[in-house]
Structure 1
């Protein structure tokens, strides 16, 4: 009779590092490819798997690996204003979406998708790299809904073309739904739904029909709608129910969320501080700039 030996569970290195708060899986893959990560003293390569007993280091600094069941999922909704960049740092010193997010200890916020500098609205951030990866991956078919103000005479055939599909320079693109939302002339609004997050895809689809998008705002990502809890330039932490709804879309197992009174009070203090900074910045700008 053979002896049953418990096998040590291993997972892909980039997945474990993303879960441990080091960044997204794609960011970790780039670090692996550049030779900046080691496993038990040896340079890691793409495809390597690790267990919780392995010693992993980035730039020579040992990383504390976090088991899947020990990680609470945190997700925040941010209402991005126009003019902010979806990058952690900008060489020109322009404001980024990360500037106003709450500070984390031992973790980092990972952006779920991006919006270009002239697009406003809903951005989601999470501490769970695996959740972020699945919500962004085209295979998951997660809906993104946008409010669009269009300049031009929108005809039924324009809408038909964009729903059936238009060949752009980077492949076929289409809306799964287009609904008119009122207005007239240069102030006509539509709501459109798209299943991907390619660069400027919504704008390019309208431009393919000879029409110009003058305002673009994301109002929904998957099951999460932008609402009045977060005004422009502000964030709100999602409830456990909202996080579970997002998680269900990806097929990941649900987890408990650590939500102590102390943590909630800290979050409230961070939001008040963010709002205060926003108001100070608003009133400290020259009047000419404020009226632009």
Structure 2
């Protein structure tokens, strides 16, 4: 069966659909030796190449993997950064014949839960506003917050790019000028949490994402490290956006050994972090 080229590449975890469309427009993709055009279709048996490298499509989309990463402040959500800043991809495990796709973004000054998957269709569904997947953030604000302000934030505020609102705002902790709240959004516009609070004359001093849909930030994952989600959690994400369940890909041989080495290095970083905190 022939499918859109961008869908095949997304299923293979090579790129998101939008990114694949840009590659097609830039002339980076060929099908059976012919440069692809937007709207072209291909089958899993066709010879598809990206920048001259063959993409294996026969098993594309048969499996899916998901990571939960605890992003620290200071990392950017790009694969490479022209300014040499650390990126969220720096410490992720390598994959064979596929790659990690980040589910949404967090700005450089925001920390917390960032999901990665090898399934481009799952990533696209989780990010798209039509899926109605909510995101929860813990936010520390500086300034006076009253019930009238909270009501305005829940009713909706007109920002530069349209109407935005929190679907829920709950006081969490703190007193005086510095208070923690948990807020919930149904979409992920650029810096939306910060801009909503700033529209009320309140400054956001810390921001951390603690939940994406049905996945909470695991308590046992220190900042700057990740954990691979189990089959049940991966199924929950698929069910959330109405996708077919798929099995996690089983690692074997050298790929399994490399994955275990990355896990070991991660544990070393976790130990170093604990020691630094204890020394403070």
Taking structure 2 as the reference length, the TM-score comes to 0.92
Superposed displacement of residue 81, structure 1: 0.9
Superposed displacement of residue 106, structure 1: 2.0
**In structure 2, what is the equivalent of residue 198 of structure 1?**
189
Taking the TM superposition and a 5 Å limit, the aligned residue runs for 1:1-292 are 9-68=1-60, 71-259=62-250, 267-277=259-269
CA distance in 1, matches of 2:257, 2:176: 47
Of residues 37-46 and 236-245 in structure 1, the stretch that sits farther from structure 2 once superposed is 37-46
Q: What does the per-residue CA deviation read over 1:220-245, in whole Å, with 9 as the maximum and x for residues that have no partner?
A: 00000012221111100001000000
Q: What does the per-residue CA deviation read over 1:189-233, in whole Å, with 9 as the maximum and x for residues that have no partner?
A: 100000111110000000111111100000000000012221111
> Any unmatched runs of 5+ in structure 1?
1-8, 285-289
- Kindly indicate whether the alpha-carbon contact (under 8 Å) linking 1:234 and 1:271 is maintained by their aligned counterparts in 2: no
**Structure 1 167/11 Cα, relative in aligned 2: closer, same or farther at 3 Å?**
same
- Kindly indicate whether the alpha-carbon contact (under 8 Å) linking 1:110 and 1:129 is maintained by their aligned counterparts in 2: yes
CA distance in 2, matches of 1:229, 1:193: 23
Of residues 87-96 and 269-278 in structure 1, the stretch that sits farther from structure 2 once superposed is 269-278
- Kindly indicate whether the alpha-carbon contact (under 8 Å) linking 1:80 and 1:97 is maintained by their aligned counterparts in 2: yes
- Kindly indicate whether the alpha-carbon contact (under 8 Å) linking 2:143 and 2:178 is maintained by their aligned counterparts in 1: no
Of residues 121-130 and 100-109 in structure 1, the stretch that sits farther from structure 2 once superposed is 100-109
Superposed CA RMSD: 2.3
- Kindly indicate whether the alpha-carbon contact (under 8 Å) linking 2:78 and 2:89 is maintained by their aligned counterparts in 1: yes
| Larger Rg computed on CA atoms | 1
CA distance in 2, matches of 1:250, 1:35: 32
- Kindly indicate whether the alpha-carbon contact (under 8 Å) linking 2:94 and 2:259 is maintained by their aligned counterparts in 1: no
Q: What does the per-residue CA deviation read over 1:80-109, in whole Å, with 9 as the maximum and x for residues that have no partner?
A: 111111111112221111111112222211
Superposed displacement of residue 282, structure 1: 9.5
